[in-house]
Every structure is written in C-alpha cells, then in structure tokens.
Amino acid sequence: MRRLILLIVLFSACSTIEKSELSSSSSSLISNIHFFNTGNAFCSIVTCPYEKKIFIYDCGMKSGKNERTYSKIQIKKEFEKHLKGNKITLAVSHADMDHNSLLPLVLEGDISDIFLGGERGDYFNLEEFLGKTSNAAIKSGNDLKALENNKIYSCGNQSAKLLSTNVGTKPNSKSMIVKFSLGEIDIILSGDAYGENERYTALNAKKDLRNIEILTASHHGSSKKGSNSEDWARVVSPKTLIYNAGTHNGYKHPRCEVVYRFNPYLKTEKTHRLSCYDQILKSINTKKSEFNVGDYKKLTIKIKGNLYSVETDELTFNPSSPHR
C-alpha cells in the first residue's frame, strides 16, 4: 500500500512538470498582427511574445473615415499599450502620408532600426521625427535596395524579409514589399505597390511567394497602374486577403473587381460583410476570407502554434492551419 501511495505521488509530480513545461512552450505563445482603421490608410503592429520587441509597418491617417475610425487619441493609447518597454523596428513602405503621418504622434521609445521605402529626402514631413531618433539605424535608398532578399527583423520564431523596394520612381512604386513569417504562417505586406512592383517581386522573390497564408492588397485594393493584377493573385494565391481601405473614400478603394479577382484563391469563412466600390460603394456579403479593415475598428490576425485566426471587434473566425 505504501509503495502504491509513493507511485501516485511520483506520477502526479511528473504530470505537474509536464503541464508547466507545456504551458511555457513556444506553441502556447500568441503573436498578433493588428491592423487599425485609420481611414483610407495603413497602420499595423506585429507583437512578439518571445522577446521585448515589436515591429511596426506603416501608420498614417487619411480620408475615408467612418464612425469606427480611430481618433488620434485612441490610436496613441493603442500604441502606448503595445510599445511598453519594447525595442521598436519600424518599416515605412513609402513616403505617402497615409502610411506615415501618425508616426511622430504614436512612436515614442526605443527605436532600434528604421527602414524607409524610397529616399530619406522623400520624408520631408518626418524630418523632425527622424532627427530625434538618433539611436536608430536608418536605411533607405540604395542602402535599403541592397537588403533585398535579406532579413530585416527577427524575434523568436518571427522574421521579416525585404522582398523588394524602389522598383519605380513614383512614391507608390518605391513601396517596400515585406514577407513576415511567424513560424509556419507567412504574410505579405505590400504597401501601395503598383503592377511593376508586383511583377518585379514575382520574379525577384519567386520562392518566397510559395504557400502564403495572408496578403495585404496592394494600394488599398486599387486596380489602377496594374495593382492587384491577375498574375499577382495567381502567383501569391493567398488564403486570406486584407484591404487597408476606408469606406466613403474618394479613391474608391478597394475595387470590387479586385475582390472578385482574388476570390478563387481564398479559403471559406462564415458570412460577413465587405465594403468595395464599383461605381458606388457596395456592402457585399462574402463567405471568403477577405476583410476590409475599414469595416471594423481593428482587425487582428492571431497566431498560435501553426494556426492563425482572424478576429475583429465584431466577429471571430475559426483558426486555420497553414498551406503545407
């Protein structure tokens, strides 16, 4: 009897160890990619649960606001919550203000690296802000171009790789296209890429475009200047597509024709609404994994182990496994 009691005690001690090991294992840690509704603009944060680091890709504000759009005070509070004590890596896709106008307001603290699509001189509105970031290593122009196909950030099982930048001479065609990998989940962040950026990237980084789970539509879902082309949709074949567009914006982003173009590649979700433009603004019901950030306040991609799910302030969608 005494031996039996000893065995039970030993067994329960082992179970406790296994449980505590399991709960602290990396598979239970959650990474989040937050997209904020700041109008017809782009503002995103990638959190890292492994180290005190954070990755910011663009943060600007523009027209196309609605009742769900963040106010400047609200977005500052969101950033304060996420930045606390973290070392910041900042990537700004290109110099247009809808991608960077909020940075001086929301970014305070320890910025270690700054990557600027285009030339530093293009960022006249950020000159004062950049002047205060004396501890940060700033890369732009040819220095950034030289980093194509290289990692520009890593944290735990996360990494960001620069696929292309400064392809053309217009602000949009200088957009940085970045592949962000979180374990087995890959996401392409594409700024305001034109068709020429998409074609260049498809050739230059062919292998990196295999098995992509999530894509942000180029140029807020525009179909002008070759953005979001048929070829790009086929090459990337994302399971989930995110439009960083406002509603009621004069640019008519995203275009419904772009939405229909990507539909064959997207996975199925429960029915939800999606705002897009033909001649006028439409609110369509879709079962495809496509979301316009402007339809919500915040949209979050939550990654746990090898599963990712899309969460908005209204709906949570079922977790999905990666392509492989």
Residue whose CB is less far from Zn ion, 192 or 198? 192
Q: Which one of the spans 66-74, 84-92, 146-154, 189-197 is the region binding Zn ion (CB under 5 A)?
A: 189-197
The least distance separating Zn ion from the CB of residue 55, rounded to whole angstroms, comes to 19
Helix segments in 28-93, DSSP class H: 72-83
Q: Least distance to Zn ion from the beta carbon of 37, Å?
A: 14
Q: Which residue lies nearer to Zn ion by CB, 101 or 157? A: 101
**Bridging pattern class, strands 177-182 and 185-189:** antiparallel
Neighbours of 121 (CB within 10 A): 11
Interstrand relation of 53-59 and 185-189 (parallel, antiparallel or unpaired) = unpaired
| DSSP letter, residue 109 | S
Q: Does 58 bind Zn ion (CB under 5 A)?
A: no
Position among 45, 54, 98, 202 found at the interface with Zn ion (CB under 5 A)? 98
- 122 counts as binding Zn ion under rule CB under 5 A: no
Closest separation in Å from C-beta 280 to Zn ion: 22
Residue 59, token pair as written in the block: 């943060």
Where would I find the beta strands (DSSP E) of 25-183?
30-36, 43-47, 53-59, 87-92, 111-116, 137-140, 150-155, 158-164, 177-182
User: Does residue 269 touch Zn ion according to CB under 5 A?
Assistant: no
Rounded Cα gap, residues 98 and 162, in angstroms? 21
**Least distance (Å) from Zn ion to the CB of residue 314?**
25
Among 122, 186, 192, 295, binds Zn ion (CB under 5 A): 192
* Nearest-approach distance from CB 236 to Zn ion, in angstroms: 19
- The least CB distance from residue 192 to Zn ion, in Å, is 4
Q: 168 and 122 in contact (C-beta within 8 Å)?
A: no
Which residue, 99 or 297, has its beta carbon nearer to Zn ion? 99
* Nearer Cβ to Zn ion (97/138): 97
Please report which helix (H) or strand (E) contains residue 12, including its range: helix 2-24
Nearer to Zn ion, 125 or 159 (CB): 125
Binding site for Zn ion (CB under 5 A): 98, 192
